[in-house]
């Protein structure tokens, strides 16, 4: 099966659980299991190639300019982790089907799970570090949803936020490190990067890149000092905890270190940083786990400890250390997933995870007891179980590792960590299952073994624990294939064998000391627990909360004075900053001599400029009178249109004029619901300050424009490219229109979407007003002036209906000529909108709306859809989105004429503009409408005579 399909299946499958949620729990669980099984089977089809040592690759260049290639590769390491992700994922899905309560939204849960699963598979199969980073951040986001799945629990919400914060920050650091590595090598493809060990390690940026990448790996795999987030993720449902801790989330950091091992390991920096962090994490996690009373908390810190063990092995930089690390990853996945599912069974059946309330469960839950005991003994390192084998290999490696001290220090610390690991495993078994037999009524709930749906998945894993433990030769060759992928060469794989008995060697004595010491520590648990509780120690969660609180406090102190919701302050800050930066550039830069002469200016131009300035100054000084301000805005727009005509920009002039007409009408409707005057809210000092800042910004802009227009451009202006390629590249002689629908078509596509959203927002706001208490005010308002006695003047009614076909013909003409002459879909849309607006003005809202045969929402959607489909059509010809084409055809008896795909895109623009304008008009009209509308249930208290007068059918919209 294609690697792309293996990665894509979980993402596509994530669409199904939510859709099938109403079909029942069995259907949702079944479809999720089927999707994962299909991906797993597809992965297995590549097993022969992996066993032969082949590298399976597939992909394509997506954005080669940035080095972003969508390439995937499957080697032994990727296959190993993908098998764990999908294989254990199947067991987790089966387990979760029976674990989740009926009140839990199973469709939502499995949607999140499949998204997370797909992101994890994407990480381990990525052959491009930029693609890997995308999947990396997707795991943080999807794990956030999984950990916080029980939204009603504060602990779940806080654990999700903590996990996202820590792993997200580590991911940002990792992005920097990967970019550095890519720049050093000259490629972001992992298959290329892994072949350039010497080049990377010789570069002066190797150490910064190493630290940044390790920050990403350490935060993800909960290494000290970032270990604290993982136990707080225990607020998630147990299936999530089992999945994240055994095969996925925390293993992503381990995978990254293993994947980058060929190029980053073997240096003192790698050895000291990775080995030290792993050793500290292993010991710290084991000690804390012993004193945890919550079963899942104990298992969480045990996960932290074992992740430290694996990290420590990778940190040694030796081939045997990598070999032992890969074997322990396999073993840890089997016994830890079984243990978490067993803890979930205990919680599910007894209604508690507190070890202090348990004990004696072996009599009431014998199946769960057997499964959990096998897994716990394996984690403790007891012979004939798989955990014993990899623990022996770890102790063997530590015997030859020297770090910060005498030769015996690291072996002694490794034994100490193993001792506490054995102690918490023995405590889990002894304090939960052993002890005197008790009545079922003495527990929070009556415990009993559940149905096979809950105990069968962990039983399968417990069986693997035993099989690997007694017959390690079954997996030895596979582990060596995985190790070869880590080392980068099969020739470097150590000539070692996984065996139960290696003779009376030092690691055996260390292992015996750890087991015996663990039993001794457990026998002294009560006094040690009291000592632990009495010992002052820093609490990582408290430190994290304090750091976050400090950041929030300083952020508020910085942001709130600036971001206070006042637009004047935002404008002041922006204008002041831009003027100051511009002045600095002006004062320190070099201004070349003038290369152009000032063109002569006639009295007409001066008169127009004076009118524009006068209208602008009047608008600034008289803006409190809203109607007068609107009139002045119209004058400013008209003068700008005249300027466009004078400067030979007919397209812009036509657009400006039509926009002005539509805008003025809509604003007049809006003013109908506002007071006549805007109250003065700013003090004289603030207004003076604003005048000074605005004047400085205006003068600076004028000076910049003046000097720029009198000098030739240093670089070739892009307009020359548009002029040269408009006809031969876009098939049109109207450069402006070709830019809008071809060269910059993607911008136009985004603009019509924004325009449609704005119209829909206006509609939503008016709908809210009509359904709320404001509706009573609108219905009961009394005009402050007497309205005209003639509702709809006959002359205007007749005139608008006569010119309607003419205006539509003009709009159609403007639309068709737009590619070669001034016009186009945007202008044509505004012209047609004006024609329809005139019908509303002349004949009223009711008359016009009764004759509308299609909803304006649909017109907007159709326009965006037509434009989008036009752009997508280019994909069928292997062209980028919105690439246009044109040709000339002749249909007798007509002359030869042009057909361009850009015309379809322009049609989408036309429809979106008409729909947006008319929906906005309709929204305002609905607010003003009174006839045939019932009053609110809570009308305002007004004089009944005034109310009758206000509701009389006078003066339509």
Strand ranges in 143-271 using DSSP code E only, listed in sequence order: none
* HSE value, Cβ hemisphere, 13 Å, CA-based, for 682: 13
627-631, 662-666, 846-850: which range is least confident on average? 846-850
57 pairs with which residues across the strands? 73
3-state SS, residue 26:
helix
| Nearest alpha-carbon partner for 241 in 160, 315, 317 | 160
Dihedral sign, Cα of residue 345, residue 346, residue 349, residue 351: negative
Q: Which of 219-223, 361-365, 837-841, 901-905 has the lowest mean pLDDT?
A: 837-841
The H or E element that residue 466 is part of is: helix 452-470
> In this structure, are residues 46 and 79 in contact, taking their beta carbons and an 8 Å threshold?
yes
Highest mean pLDDT among 520-524, 722-726, 735-739, 919-923: 520-524
Looking up tokens 């390491």 gives 77
Q: Which residues contact 468 (CB under 8 A, 6 or more apart)?
A: 330, 331, 334, 386, 389, 474, 475
State whether residue 68 is helix, strand or coil. Answer: strand
Please indicate, yes or no, if residue 20 is contained in any of the structural domains. Answer: no
Of the spans 94-108, 111-125, 669-683, 866-880, which averages the highest pLDDT? 111-125
List, in sequence order, every residue forming a beta bridge with 897; answer none if it has no partner: 889
The answer on pLDDT for 789 being more than 60 is no
Region 917-921: mean pLDDT is: 87
Indicate if the pLDDT at residue 130 is higher than 80.
yes
Q: What is the DSSP letter of 313?
A: H
Answer for the pair 371, 455: CB distance below 8 angstroms, yes or no. Answer: yes
- Listing DSSP states for 623-666 in one string gives TTBHHHHHHHHHHHHHHHHHHHHHTT-HHHHHHHHHHHHHHHHH
Q: How many CB atoms lie within 10 A of CB 609?
A: 13
- pLDDT tens digits, one per residue of 501-522: 877 888 889 999 999 999 999 9
CA distance 14 to 108: 9
| Mean pLDDT across 172-192 | 91
pLDDT digits (tens, 9 = 90+) for 852-875: 777 888 899 999 999 999 988 888
The percent of residues in the chain predicted with pLDDT above 90, rounded, is: 39
Closest CA to 265 of 190, 201, 181, 220: 201
How sure is the predictor about 945, in pLDDT bands with cuts at 50, 70 and 90?
very low
The C-alpha atoms of residue 768 and residue 772 are separated, in whole angstroms, by 6
Q: What is the mean pLDDT of residues 656-669?
A: 86
pLDDT at residue 709 in the model? 84
Is the confidence at residue 165, as pLDDT, over 50?
yes
* Selection from 456-465, 543-552, 564-573, 668-677 with the highest mean pLDDT: 456-465
Token digits of residue 909: 């623009």
- What CA–CA distance (Å, rounded) separates 302 from 195? 36
End-of-domain residue from the set 524, 556, 571: 524
Residue 934 has what pLDDT?
40
Higher pLDDT, 697 or 791: 697
Q: Which one is predicted more confidently, 363 or 378? A: 378
- pLDDT at site 714: 72
**175/173 Cα distance (integer angstroms):** 5
List all residues 6 or more positions away from 845 whose beta carbon is below 8 Å from its beta carbon: 922, 925, 926, 928, 929, 956, 957
Q: Which of 853, 831, 843, 833 is nearest to 799 (CA)?
A: 843
CA distance linking residue 821 with residue 716, whole number of Å: 26
Whether pLDDT at 957 is above 50: no
The H or E element that residue 62 is part of is strand 56-63
Count the Cβ atoms, other than its own, within 10 Å of residue 855. 13
Angle at 450 between CA 444 and CA 452, to 5 degrees: 165
Instruction: Please work out, in degrees rounded to the nearest 5, the angle formed at the alpha carbon of residue 834 by the alpha carbons of 830 and 839.
Output: 150
pLDDT of residue 308: 93
The answer to whether residue 808 sits within a structural domain is: yes
Measured at the alpha carbon of residue 884, what is the angle toward residues 879 and 886, in degrees to the nearest 5? Answer: 120
Mean pLDDT of 747-755: 91
- Domain interval for residue 862: 733-957
Sequence-ordered list of residues with C-beta below 8 angstroms from that of 880, at least 6 positions apart, any chain:
874
Query: Cα–Cα distance between 283 and 289 in angstroms, integer?
Result: 10
CA distance 293 to 525: 12
149 within domain boundaries: no
Identify the CA nearest to 232 among candidates 142, 311, 304: 304
Measure the CA–CA gap between 324 and 306, rounded to whole angstroms: 13
Q: Is the dihedral of CA 60, 62, 66, 71 positive or negative?
A: negative
Residue 34's alpha-carbon distances to 14, 31, 853, in angstroms, are: 12, 5, 47
User: Whole-prediction pTM value?
Assistant: 0.72
Query: Which of the listed residues 524, 550, 581 is the one where a domain comes to its end?
Result: 524
- Asked if 860 and 913 count as a contact pair (C-beta separation under 8 A), the reply is no
- Rounded mean pLDDT, 276-288: 93
Q: Is residue 1 part of a domain?
A: no
Domain boundary among 468, 500, 524: 524
Mean pLDDT of the chain: 86
What was the pLDDT predicted at 940?
A: 37
Instruction: Write down the pLDDT at residue 774.
Output: 64
Q: Mapping DSSP to helix (H, G, I), strand (E, B) and coil, where does residue 266 land?
A: coil
204 falls within a domain: no
Q: What is the mean pLDDT of residues 567-581?
A: 87
For the chain, the distance separating the N- and C-terminal CA atoms, rounded to the nearest angstrom, is 65
What is the average per-residue pLDDT within 905-917?
Answer: 92
Q: Cα–Cα distance between 523 and 509 in angstroms, integer?
A: 21
What pLDDT sits at residue 781?
Answer: 61
In a domain, 701, yes or no: no
* β-sheet bridge partners, residue 899: 887
> pLDDT at position 796, please?
83
pLDDT exceeds cutoff 70 at 939: no
Which residue is associated with the tokens 């919105």? 882
pLDDT at 733: 86
Q: Which pLDDT belongs to residue 951?
A: 40
pLDDT at residue 952 tops 50: no
Spatial separation of the C-alpha atoms in residues 518 and 447, rounded to whole Å: 29
Q: By the 8 A CB rule, do 85 and 142 touch?
A: no
Three-class secondary structure of residue 860 per DSSP: helix
pLDDT mean over 847-855: 78
- The helix-helix angle for 154-185 and 540-559 (nearest 10°) equals 80
Nearest to 159 by CA among 241, 80, 218: 241
Radius of gyration of the chain (CA): 37
Cα–Cα distance, 349 to 444 (Å, whole number): 9
Q: Which of 431, 473, 448 is nearest to 349 (CA)?
A: 448
Check: CB of residue 348 under 8 Å from CB of residue 99: yes
Q: What is the mean pLDDT of residues 802-815?
A: 90
472-481, 528-537, 816-825: range with highest mean pLDDT:
472-481
Angle at 695 between CA 690 and CA 697, to 5 degrees: 95
The answer to whether residue 264 sits within a structural domain is no
Does residue 498 lie within any of the structural domains?
Answer: yes
Q: Is residue 294 a contact partner of residue 353, using CB atoms and an 8 Å limit?
A: yes
Q: In the chain, how many domains are there?
A: 2
Range with the lowest mean pLDDT among 154-168, 469-483, 771-785?
Answer: 771-785
Nearest CA among 409, 291, 294 for reference residue 343:
294
* Residue 222: pLDDT band with limits 50, 70, 90: confident
Percentage of the chain lying above the pLDDT 70 cut: 94
- Report whether the peptide linkage leading into residue 893 is cis, meaning its omega lies within 30 degrees of zero: yes
């Amino acid at each position: 099966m294609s690697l792309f399909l293996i990665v894509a299946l979980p993402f596509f499958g994530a669409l199904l659980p939510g859709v099938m949620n109403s079909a029942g729990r069995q259907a949702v669980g079944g479809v999720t299991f089927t999707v994962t099984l299909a991906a797993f089977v597809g992965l297995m089809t590549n097993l022969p190639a992996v066993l032969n040592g082949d590298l399976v690759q597939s992909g394509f260049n997506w954005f080669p300019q940035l080095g972003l290639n969508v390439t995937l590769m499957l080697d032994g390491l990727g296959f190993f982790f993908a098998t764990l992700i999908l294989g254990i994922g199947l067991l987790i899905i089966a387990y979760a089907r029976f674990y989740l309560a009926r009140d839990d939204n199973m469709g939502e849960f499995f949607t999140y799970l499949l998204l997370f699963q797909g992101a994890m598979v994407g990480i381990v199969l990525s052959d491009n570090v930029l693609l890997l980073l995308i999947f990396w951040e997707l795991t943080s986001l999807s794990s956030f949803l999984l950990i916080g799945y029980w939204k009603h629990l504060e602990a779940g919400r806080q654990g999700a936020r903590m996990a996202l914060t820590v792993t997200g920050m580590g991911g940002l650091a990792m992005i920097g490190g990967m970019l550095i590595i890519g720049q050093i090598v000259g490629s972001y493809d992992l298959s290329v990067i892994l072949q350039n060990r010497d080049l990377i390690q010789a570069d002066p940026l190797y150490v910064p890149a190493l630290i940044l990448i390790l920050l990403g790996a350490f935060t993800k795999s909960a290494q000290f000092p970032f270990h604290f987030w993982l136990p707080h993720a225990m607020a998630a449902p147990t299936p999530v905890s089992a999945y994240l801790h055994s095969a996925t989330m925390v293993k992503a950091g381990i995978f990254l270190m293993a994947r980058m091992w060929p190029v980053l390991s073997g240096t003192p920096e790698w050895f000291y940083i990775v080995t030290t962090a792993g050793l500290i994490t292993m010991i710290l996690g084991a000690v804390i786990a012993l004193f945890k009373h919550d079963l899942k908390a104990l298992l969480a810190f045990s996960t932290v400890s074992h992740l430290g063990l694996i990290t420590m092995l990778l940190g040694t930089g030796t081939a045997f250390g990598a070999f032992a690390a890969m074997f322990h990853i396999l073993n840890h996945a089997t016994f830890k997933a079984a243990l978490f599912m067993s803890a979930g069974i205990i919680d599910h059946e007894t209604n508690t995870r507190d070890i202090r309330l348990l004990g004696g469960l072996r009599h009431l839950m014998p199946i769960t007891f057997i499964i959990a005991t096998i897994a716990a003994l394996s984690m403790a390192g007891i012979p004939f179980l798989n955990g014993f084998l990899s623990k022996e290999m770890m102790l063997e490696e530590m015997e030859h590792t020297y770090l910060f001290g005498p030769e015996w220090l690291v072996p002694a610390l490794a034994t100490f960590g193993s001792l506490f690991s054995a102690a918490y495993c023995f405590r889990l078994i002894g304090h939960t299952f052993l002890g005197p037999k008790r009545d079922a009524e003495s527990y929070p709930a009556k415990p009993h073994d559940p149905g096979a749906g809950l105990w069968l998945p962990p039983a399968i894993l417990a069986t693997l624990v035993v099989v690997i433990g007694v017959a390690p030769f079954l997996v030895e060759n596979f582990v060596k294939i995985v190790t070869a992928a880590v080392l980068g060469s099969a020739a470097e794989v150590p000539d070692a064998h996984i065996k139960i008995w290696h003779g009376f060697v030092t690691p055996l004595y260390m292992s015996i000391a750890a087991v015996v010491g663990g039993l001794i520590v457990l026998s002294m648990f009560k006094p040690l627990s009291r000592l632990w509780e009495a010992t002052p120690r820093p609490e990582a969660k408290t430190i994290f909360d304090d750091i976050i609180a400090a950041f929030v406090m300083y952020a508020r102190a910085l942001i709130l004075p600036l971001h206070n919701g006042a637009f004047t302050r935002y404008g002041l800050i922006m204008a002041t900053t831009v003027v100051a930066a511009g002045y600095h550039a002006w004062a320190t830069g070099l201004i070349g001599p003038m290369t152009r002469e000032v063109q002569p200016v006639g009295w007409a131009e001066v008169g127009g400029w004076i009118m524009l300035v006068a209208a602008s100054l009047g608008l600034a000084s008289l803006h409190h009178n809203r109607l007068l301000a609107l009139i002045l805005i119209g004058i400013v727009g008209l003068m700008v249109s005249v300027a466009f005509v004078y400067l030979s920009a007919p397209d812009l002039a036509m657009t400006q004029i039509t926009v002005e007409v539509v805008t003025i009408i809509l604003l007049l409707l809006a003013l109908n619901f506002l007071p006549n005057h805007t109250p003065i809210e700013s003090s004289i000092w603030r207004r003076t300050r604003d005048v000074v800042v605005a004047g400085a910004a205006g003068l600076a802009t004028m000076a910049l424009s003046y000097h720029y227009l009198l000098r030739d451009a240093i670089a070739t202006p892009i307009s020359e490219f548009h002029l040269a390629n408009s006809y031969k590249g876009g098939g049109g002689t109207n450069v402006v229109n070709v830019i809008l629908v071809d060269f910059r078509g993607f911008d136009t596509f985004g603009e019509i979407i924004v325009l449609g959203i704005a119209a829909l927002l206006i509609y939503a706001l008016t709908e809210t007003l009509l359904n709320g208490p404001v509706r009573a005010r609108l219905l009961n308002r009394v005009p402050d002036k007497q309205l005209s006695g003639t509702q709809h003047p006959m002359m205007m009614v007749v005139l608008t209906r006569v010119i309607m076909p003419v205006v539509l013909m003009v709009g159609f003409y403007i639309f068709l000529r737009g590619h070669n002459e001034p016009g186009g879909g945007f202008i044509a849309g505004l012209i047609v909108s004006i024609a329809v607006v005139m019908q509303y003005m002349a004949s009223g809202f009711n008359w016009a709306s009764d004759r509308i045969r299609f909803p304006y929402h649909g017109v907007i959607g159709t326009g965006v859809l037509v434009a989008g489909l036009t752009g997508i059509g280019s994909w069928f010809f292997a062209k980028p989105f919105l690439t246009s084409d044109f040709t000339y055809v002749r249909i007798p008896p007509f002359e030869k004429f042009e057909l361009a795909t850009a015309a379809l895109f322009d049609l989408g623009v036309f429809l979106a503009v008409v729909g947006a304008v008319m929906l906005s008009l309709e929204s305002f009209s609905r607010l003003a409408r009174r006839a045939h509308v019932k009053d609110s249930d809570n009308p305002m208290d007004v004089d009944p005579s005034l109310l009758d007068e206000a509701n009389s059918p006078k003066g339509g919209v």
